[in-house]
A and B are shown apart, each in its own frame.
Chain A
């Protein structure tokens, strides 16, 4: 029952050439409801993200950043506008086709981890591989390798309730990487973590971005988390009002404070 798309999930997507952005959104709008009660959550947003970028999306609640995140994550379709993901127009795909795109190209990390309860870490990481139709022995092999990569090689059989918040989020990151997706979408990934675990998770995410070339789009309202990114996009009232390198967007004292406490990326195993 796997669909016929080539190389679904098995291999790392080749990064598009530098002229072809990984994310290319043009004049995207999203309207909820109809008539007088219609809510225009996005009012014409355009954004390009090259492969290998690390982008933080900021904005107050109601600014449209969550809606934009859902559209980038192919969890929903825009009302109008175009969205090309890795060269493929995805804004008009059917629900099943979107599911395939999510499975193959996007890894999700959520604020509340969203691990399956009473299910081992390994089985949680296997989940996207299961839906990609990867054979059992390959699934097991890949899940174990990923859990080792996130430093949980000795916790394969642990259930979420037996893991700390930081460990749970690392399982979630391993799951997001399972199908070799080129894009990691993180929605407030440190929202439920203490500051030490937050630093640990963000260090790991930055490492993925730097050494594996995985494109990271991070939604946060916390400027100290945005400081880890290289580019900060700010939303307000359904529009992008600011888009600049994080070096300019984040006040120097925050930046120094955050990055000063972080271990050097190279120090991670």
Chain B
């Protein structure tokens, strides 16, 4: 029996009972669809987390002031005032493997521009901030080192602020007033989206750290120092060296605890990434279970089909079909159904993924790998679960099969 004839026989048999064929395929369609959809959603979620890590800045370490503890009462992290601007320069210039270090202090204020106003965060920093946080300028420019040194009254707007204050555009070159201080807008930041914690990072106005401290907050210390390590591997060494340097600069004795805290943000984000990977794996696992259940359903219908077609099998044997001809016929039928079901399942899976992306605004990524995996697993299900019914058919005694009512 040639392959063409086998395919012809299988195709005739499938066409003869369309309803049964579709029912048989249903399990595989749903299983493969679930595999594709869940993998697309899992990959999308992972990509979203990766993008957040990316938006945070590469290999980021954050130094924040320590807690004031006096007479057993602790005021909590960040209440100390020991981090100073020279600490930032010292870190940038002496700690090895540091790509950049930038101070960051923040306050909140009403920002007024012409007839519009907007309550937002005012961040003070240095030009290094753009490299440390991997944040670029969409229009105009960021402020320079010289402007920081001069405590110039210049501002760079976040995308959200720009949209609210200058809905018609034309932000760059305009004047905005913050706490009665006029600032010249010199640039607009590129949109960065939500932070890993759901805050709108674009709802911000950036000014030189010196201007912020001198004119807006009156503080002499900085709230954060962002340090970027040159490579992910260098992060722990940078954390250690920074700690040693700051203890030295703050004249702490061995008995005294740190008056600052160093956080390895990248680690936190790596944990989130691992979590999302686990979720994706879990989703894929559930999808595989549904595929296996679909395969078992497929097998059940094939078994019923073999029983239903007992006389047909007997007749085929009487006119010269050997056991393996029958076996191959039913295997090819199962494979054809699995193949068709797999293709339909892929179409439905991709459609569902795109649909949930369009309707639910979920990040989804349909990878060619998941399509290939879906197709191959449908074929595997076809062979594995088609084999037992096919073997049952091939093992029938022609006399018994011919007499079957």
Contact = CB atoms under 8 A, between A and B. Distances in A.
A75 interface: yes
A243 B324 CA distance: 40
14 contacts: A1-B1, A9-B320, A75-B398, A96-B323, A99-B320, A99-B325, A103-B319, A108-B319, A110-B402, A114-B318, A116-B16, A130-B9, A131-B322, A133-B1
Interface in B317-332: 317-325
Interface stretch (B49-57, B89-97, B267-275, B308-316): B308-316
A133 B397 CA distance: 23
A95 B322 contact: yes
A102 interface: yes
The 8 closest A-B pairs by CB, nearest first: A103-B320, A131-B320, A118-B16, A128-B319, A99-B322, A96-B322, A114-B315, A1-B1
Contacts of B8: 130
Contacts of A1: 1-2, 325
Contacts of A100: 320, 322
A123 interface: yes
B399 interface: yes
A35 B2 CA distance: 44
Nearest to B6: A1
Contacts of A164: none
Contact of A117 (B16, B314, B322): B16
Interface of B: 1-2, 5, 8-9, 12, 16-17, 311-312, 314-325, 397-399, 402
Given A102-B319, A108-B318, A114 B324 contact: no
Given A119-B12, A119-B16, A95 B402 contact: no
B320 A75 contact: no
A31 B400 CA distance: 16
Interface string A87-131: 000000001100110111000101000101111000100011011
A75 B316 CA distance: 12
A75 B324 contact: no
B200 to A, nearest CB: 64
A179 to B, nearest CB: 8
B319 A175 contact: yes
A73 interface: yes
Interface of B, helix, strand, loop or mixed by DSSP: helix
Given A1-B2, A114-B311, A116-B312, A132 B320 contact: yes
Contacts of A116: 16, 312, 315
A100 B402 CA distance: 18
Contacts of B398: 75-76
Contacts of A128: 319-320
Nearest to B319: A128
Contacts of A132: 320
Contacts of A179: 320
Nearest to B326: A99
A127 B12 contact: no
Most chain A beta-carbon neighbours within 10 Å: one of B5, B319, B323, B399: B319
A75 B318 contact: yes
Nearest to A115: B315
Contact of B5 (A99, A110, A130): A130
A130 B7 CA distance: 12
Contacts of B402: 75, 110, 114
Contacts of A123: 12
A108 B316 CA distance: 11
A128 B325 CA distance: 12
Given A76-B399, A118-B16, A131 B321 contact: yes
Nearest to A95: B323
Nearest to B15: A118
Contacts of B320: 9, 99-100, 102-104, 128, 131-132, 179
Nearest to B328: A1
A9 B320 CA distance: 10
Contacts of B5: 130, 133
B56 to A, nearest CB: 64
A268 interface: no
Contacts of A96: 322-324
